[in-house]
């Protein structure tokens, strides 16, 4: 292996803020963004057991799907480099040059990028589409978009085991919902998980998370929920209000929140806390996945 240096367990850091003390709530950040600069947080957790499985099946190529702003694409490329797999990234839509930093980084780690029109991309889980990819590229280990599958949930569940304080609620942002599904599965009876959708119209996530849990554990749990109203216009969309929030959070707490996911979650979480949605005395852990 090419000397992959992962910071695990990821640090847990308390946030001090007047809003929190006024509401009698404690807030900790689970800094998964510090695990590795490119194998970002939950993407590493989701890939870990999949890489073992790919190895066990003697596969030499990983193939996966993603949009142009996909941390997953980047993480698969990086893992391919470190764990000696060839990697193919099927990218939604057309090529835009120069490549943005996500795709440039993927290419840098040796990933072959293949662009797929949006209509076909929507049918990407369809066996015909997969078969045509196999006839074009040969055999591969298939990772779903965003890396969320049963093995990914197992990796995400380990995040909870690393937390060595007592807490009531754990929050994360949701793209595919895999992280939320995995985290929720590892909680004790009194604890609950709260996801924040970064997608507009994210109500499909309820079914998605439930299905992922069923595929991994045979049943789904009722200890989680998802906030749908903090998407700021949709996936990879930003507004001035969000940008101002990122700056002020960085100035107050020294953490620059990722604008695609974590800033939206943190804005939503602080908004809910400010509105008294959390009981006094409660402790919240917010997962900063990247």
Ligand X SMILES: *Cc1c(COP(=O)(O)O)cnc(C)c1O
Footprint of ligand X (CB under 6 A): 40-43, 71-72, 146, 148, 173-179, 258, 261-262, 289-290
Task: Compute the distance between CA of residue 239 and CA of residue 254 in angstroms, rounded to an integer.
Answer: 21
Pull the structure tokens for residue 159: 């995040």
Q: Return the number of the residue (23 or 285) whose C-beta is nearest ligand X.
A: 285
Residue 228 Cβ, how far from ligand X at the closest point, in Å?
14
Residue 32 Cβ, how far from ligand X at the closest point, in Å?
8
Q: Return the number of the residue (23 or 170) whose C-beta is nearest ligand X.
A: 170
Torsion angle (degrees, nearest 10) of CA 27, 30, 34, 38: -120
Distances (CA, A) of 66 to 101, 105, 124, 175, 271: 14, 14, 11, 11, 30
Q: Return the number of the residue (89 or 146) whose C-beta is nearest ligand X.
A: 146
Q: Enumerate the β-bridge partners of residue 86.
A: 61
Q: Return the number of the residue (273 or 289) whose C-beta is nearest ligand X.
A: 289
Query: Which residues, including other chains, have CB under 8 Å from residue 61's CB and lie 6 or more apart?
Result: 85, 86, 87, 88, 137, 138, 139, 140, 141
Q: Return the number of the residue (34 or 289) whose C-beta is nearest ligand X.
A: 289
Chain centre to alpha carbon of residue 222: 21
Residue nearest to ligand X (CB): 290
Residue 288 Cβ, how far from ligand X at the closest point, in Å?
8
Residue 46 Cβ, how far from ligand X at the closest point, in Å?
7
Residue 265 Cβ, how far from ligand X at the closest point, in Å?
8
């Amino acid at each position: 292996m090419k000397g992959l240096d992962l910071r695990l367990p990821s640090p847990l850091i308390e946030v001090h803020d007047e809003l929190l003390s006024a509401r009698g709530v404690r807030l900790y950040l689970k800094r998964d963004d510090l695990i590795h600069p490119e194998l970002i947080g939950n993407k590493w957790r989701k890939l870990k057991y999949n890489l073992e499985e790919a190895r066990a099946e003697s596969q030499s190529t990983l193939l996966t799907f993603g949009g142009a702003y996909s941390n997953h694409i980047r993480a698969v490329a990086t893992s391919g480099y470190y764990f000696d797999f060839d990697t193919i990234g099927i990218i939604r839509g057309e090529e835009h040059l120069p490549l943005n930093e996500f795709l440039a980084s993927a290419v840098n780690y040796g990933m072959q990028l293949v662009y797929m029109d949006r209509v076909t991309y929507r049918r990407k889980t369809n066996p015909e589409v997969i078969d045509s990819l196999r006839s074009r590229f040969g055999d591969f280990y298939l990772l779903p978009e965003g890396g969320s599958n049963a093995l990914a949930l197992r990796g995400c569940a380990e995040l909870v085991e690393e937390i060595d304080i007592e807490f009531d609620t754990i929050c994360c942002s949701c793209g595919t919902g895999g992280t939320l599904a995995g985290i929720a599965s590892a909680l004790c009876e009194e604890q609950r998980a709260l996801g924040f959708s970064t997608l507009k119209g994210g109500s499909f996530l309820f079914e998605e998370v439930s299905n992922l849990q069923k595929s991994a554990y045979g049943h789904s749990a009722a200890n989680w929920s998802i906030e749908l109203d903090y998407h700021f216009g949709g996936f990879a969309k930003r507004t001035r209000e969000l940008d101002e929030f990122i700056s002020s959070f960085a100035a107050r707490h020294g953490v620059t929140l990722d604008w695609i996911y974590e800033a939206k979650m943190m804005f939503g979480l602080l908004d809910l806390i400010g509105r008294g949605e959390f009981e006094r005395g409660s402790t919240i852990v917010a997962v900063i996945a990247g």
